[in-house]
Structure 1
Amino acid sequence: MKQVKFLHTADLHLDSPMVGLRHLPKAIFHRLQESTFTALKNITDAAIKHEVDFVVIAGDLFDGEDRSIRAQAVLRNEMGRLADKGIKVYAIHGNHDHLGAKSVTIDFPDNVHFFSDQVEKADFRKNDGTLVHLYGFSYPERHVMERWIERYKKVDGADFHVGLLHGHFEGVSEHGKYAPFRLTDLIDKDFDYWALGHIHKKAVLSQLPYVVYPGNPQGRNRKELGEKGAYIVNLSETGPEVSFFDTADVIWDEAIIDGQDLLSFNALYEKCLDAIDGKRREGNGVLLDIRIEGVNSGLSDVIGKIASGELLELLQDTEKDEDSFVWVHRLKFTEDIAVDRAGLIKQSDFYEELFSTIEQYDDLWNSLSPLFQHSQARRHLGMLSEQEKEELVEDAERILLQMLLKN
C-alpha cells in the first residue's frame, strides 16, 4: 500500500526578540529568548522519533529580514540532524523572512529544499517508489497581496500531492492579509494535503482534504495563548490521518478568578495560589495573566494591595528559581460596583447621554493614535482585534462609572 508520513510546521520565528519582556527575571527571560530554538529542537526530535519521510515548513522560519547568523546556524544544525537520519526538508519563506531581504546567509545541507520566488513543484520519492509532488513558493518581497493560489497547478503522475502556502484565509483571520485564499480555492486544486502557515493559532479548516494551520511552535506574547506545536501527517490509499504534538518550552496562559465572594486578602491570595498550581506544567515554564473579576468595592484594603502591586510581588516571589515556573506577568482586577443603568438614566439626562455615547462609540483609533504614532511605543504594539477593541471600551466604561459613582 502506498503511504507517506511527514511533519508539518510553520512560523518558527527563530530568534524572536520577545519585545517588551526584559522586565522578567534574568533566568526566565533567557529561557523565553531561547524558547524558539528549543521548540525547533523539539520538532527535530519528533521527526526522528516518528521516523517521518520528510518535513515541511510553511514559511517564516526566521523572525526578521536580517535572519541573524545565530538563527541560521541553529536551523542548519537541526537540519543536519535530520540529514543524518535521511529525512528531507521542504521549506518556503514567508513575509517575515522573504527572499528580498538583504542579509548575510549561510548554506544548508543538501537534504533541505527551499522553494523559489515562483510557484514550483518539488518531488519526493520513497525507496518503494511512492512519489509525492510538493508545490509552493517563497515570498519574493514582504508584502505579497496578490492571490498566488491561482498559480498552483496540479501535475499528474504522483501518488500524493501536498501544497505549501503561507497566506491569509479570507473572511476569518485578522492577521496580515498576505497571499489571500478561500477554502474552495484549495479544495478545487485536488491536493491531498495543504500545509499552511502565517496564522499563529492552530486550525483545521477542512478534513477532505486536510487543510491545516499548525500555528507557531512557540508563543511569543500574551496573545499567543495555550498549547503550541506541529502535526504528524500520514497519507495513504485508505485516507489521511493527522495528530498534533506539543513543542513549546514556555507557554502563555490566563486564569480568571471570581472575586465576588472574597472576604479577605488571605482568601484572595489562596485563590491565586490555586490558580497558579492549576496552570503548572511539568518541564514547561508558564507566563500567566490573572484577572480578578468583581472584587467587592468595600474591601478597600484588599483592593489597595492589588493596586499597589504587593499581591503580584508576593505571587512572583517563589517562582523565579523554579524550572517548571508559573510566573504571573500581569495581574488585573475589576471592582464589583452594581450599575443600575435604568435608575441612573432616570436620575439624570447626563447618564442617558453617556450610555448612548458609549454604545455608539466607534472612534477608538483616533483615541489611541498618539500611542501608535509614538516612535518608541509603536515598536511594542500590534494591531488590535475586534475583541480587544470591545474590551478596551468596556474597561473605559467600567473605570469611568467607578469614578463617577464613588464621587
Structure 2
Amino acid sequence: MNEIKFIHAADLHLDSPMVGLKHLPKHIFKRLQESTFQALKTLIDKAISSKVDFVILAGDLFDHEDRSIRAQARLRSELERLQSEGISVFIVYGNHDFMGGSWPHLDLPNNVEVFRETVETKTLKTRNGAVVHLYGFSYPSRHVLERKIDDYKRTGNADYHIGILHGNLEGNQEHGNYAPFQLNDLLEKQFDYWALGHIHKRAVLCEEPPIVYPGNLQGRHRKEAEVKGCYLVSLNQANHSLEFIETSDVIWLEKQLDATHMKSFNELYHSCLDLVERVRLDEVGVLLCLKIINVNLDEVTLDDLMKEELLEALQGNEEKEDSFVWTISIQVENQMTYNRDLLAKEDDFYSEMFDMTDNLELLEESLSQLYHHPLARKYLKSLTPEELKQLKQETEWMLLQELLK
C-alpha cells in the first residue's frame, strides 16, 4: 500500500480581534493581529516543502460567522499556493464559522473540497496511486449538539479512510459540548486516522489508529499558552508518524519566579531580567505573564506602585525587538503571611469577610452583570471552577493586604 502524507490543522481563527489587548504597544499589537495569518503561512510553507498529498483544515478557520473579507482573501491567497503545487485541501466548518448566516462571499480555489452540512465522503487519488476516502461535515449553525459521529460510515474500497470531526470528547468541560463523541465511538469506525478540531490544546487521544487534536495554530490569550501548531502525518501499511509543526508567531507564556533567597530589589530585578532572556526565542514574540512567589525583601515592600514600576522596567525597549519578550503582567504572592483561623477568632469582621470570600455563588452573582452585558458576553468565556477559586483567593489577598498593612 502506497504511503500518504498530509497536514492536519484546525482552529485557525483567522483575523481574531485579540480582544482586550489594544493596550499593547502598537508594533506588538499589530504583530499579534497578524499572527493568525502568519501561522497559516507557516503551515502552507511546510505543506509545500514536505510535498504533502493534501491538507485537512478541521473547522473554525474563521473567528466569526460573519467572515471578514480580509480573512477570506488571505485564506484564498494561501490556498492558491497549494493549488499551484497540486496539493488538495479538505475543509469542514465548525461552530465559529458555521455555514448558516450571510456574509460577503469569496470563492475558494478549485483544489479545495468543502464538506456540506450532512456527513459525506470525498475521494482523493494521490500522485503515487493511493486512494483515500475522507469523511466529514460542516456545521449548519453554531450549536450542533447531536451525536453526528453516528452518521460516519466507512464506505467503498480505499487504501485509507480518514474521519474529520470538529467536536468535543465527552467529559471535557472547557469547551462547548458540540458534536459530542466518546473515544470508543471513533475506534468502532475502523478508520485509519481521525482528524479532530474544536479543542485548542493539542492531544493525541489514541496512537493506533491515530486520533488527534492538533490544537489551534496561534494562541490568542493567556489561556492558550505555549507553542501552537499542526501535525505532519505519514501513513503506510506498516506504521504511521506524527510530526508536530510549530506555527506560532507570538507565544503566550506563564512563568513563576521564586524569590525566597532574594533580599534586595536589585536581586529581584536582575533575576527577572535573566528569566526574560531565558524565554526569548528567535524570530518569535513572547507575551509573558510573570508570577513572583515568596517575596520578602529586607529593604522594601513590593507594593502595587513598585510592582508597576518593575513591570515598566522589564518592558523597557522590548517593543522595538522582533524577538520581543513583553511582560504582560506581574502577580506577586506571599508578601505577607496570615493565619486565617486566628484572624477570624480575633475579630468578627474578618470572620464575616472570610465567609463572603468563601461563597463562590456570591462571586458568580457579582460577575453575572458582566456576563449578561449584551456587548461583553460576546467575548467572554465562562470561568472554570479552578479559575473561580483563584479569583476568590486573589480577592481575599487584596483585601487583607489593605487591612493588614
TM-score by length of 1: 0.94
Q: Which residue of 1 aligns with 2:283?
A: 283
Q: Which runs of 5+ in 1 are unaligned?
A: none
Q: Which residue of 2 aligns with 1:20?
A: 20
Bigger shift: residues 395-404 or 11-20:
395-404
Deviation at 1:371, TM superposition (A): 2.3
Amino acid at match of 1:395: E
Q: Which residue of 2 aligns with 1:322?
A: 321
Preserved CA contact (<8 Å) 2:356 2:362: no
Percent identity (aligned) = 51
Deviation at 1:132, TM superposition (A): 0.8
SS at match of 1:315: helix
Q: Which residue of 2 aligns with 1:388?
A: 387
SS at match of 1:336: coil
Deviation at 1:55, TM superposition (A): 0.4
Amino acid at match of 2:339: D
Q: Which residue of 1 aligns with 2:165?
A: 165
Deviations 1:357-387 (A, max 9, x none): 6556444321211222334543442221222
Aligned partners of 1:160, 1:195: CA distance in 2, in Å? 13
Q: Does 1:205 align with 2:189?
A: no
Preserved CA contact (<8 Å) 1:54 1:90: yes
Preserved CA contact (<8 Å) 2:295 2:333: yes
Q: Which residue of 1 aligns with 2:332?
A: 333
Amino acid at match of 1:333: V
Deviation at 1:5, TM superposition (A): 0.7
Q: Which runs of 5+ in 2 are unaligned?
A: none
Preserved CA contact (<8 Å) 1:264 1:302: no
Q: Which residue of 2 aligns with 1:43?
A: 43
Preserved CA contact (<8 Å) 1:20 1:380: no
Amino acid at match of 1:137: F
Preserved CA contact (<8 Å) 1:169 1:183: yes
Aligned partners of 1:62, 1:341: CA distance in 2, in Å? 48
Amino acid at match of 1:27: H
SS at match of 1:302: coil
Aligned partners of 2:379, 2:102: CA distance in 1, in Å? 24
Q: Which residue of 2 aligns with 1:95?
A: 95
User: What aligned pairs does 1:138-153 form with structure 2 within 5 A after superposition?
Assistant: 138-153=138-153
Preserved CA contact (<8 Å) 2:8 2:56: yes
Deviations 1:130-166 (A, max 9, x none): 1111000000111111111111111141111100001
Query: In the superposition, relative to structure 1, how do residues 358 and 70 fare at CA in structure 2: closer, same or farther (>3 Å)?
Result: closer
Deviations 1:311-339 (A, max 9, x none): 11111122010010001111222243222
Deviation at 1:350, TM superposition (A): 6.0
Deviations 1:19-46 (A, max 9, x none): 1111111111111111111000000001
Query: In the superposition, relative to structure 1, how do residues 156 and 247 fare at CA in structure 2: closer, same or farther (>3 Å)?
Result: same
SS at match of 2:320: coil
Q: Which residue of 1 aligns with 2:128?
A: 128
Amino acid at match of 1:236: N
Q: Which residue of 1 aligns with 2:254?
A: 254
The CA RMSD measured in Å over matched residues stands at: 1.9
Amino acid at match of 2:19: V
Q: Which residue of 2 aligns with 1:117?
A: 117
Runs of 4+ in 1 over 6 A off after TM superposition: none
Aligned partners of 2:152, 2:378: CA distance in 1, in Å? 36
Amino acid at match of 2:366: S
SS at match of 2:294: strand
Q: Which residue of 1 aligns with 2:371?
A: 372
Q: Which residue of 2 aligns with 1:229?
A: 229
Preserved CA contact (<8 Å) 2:169 2:181: yes
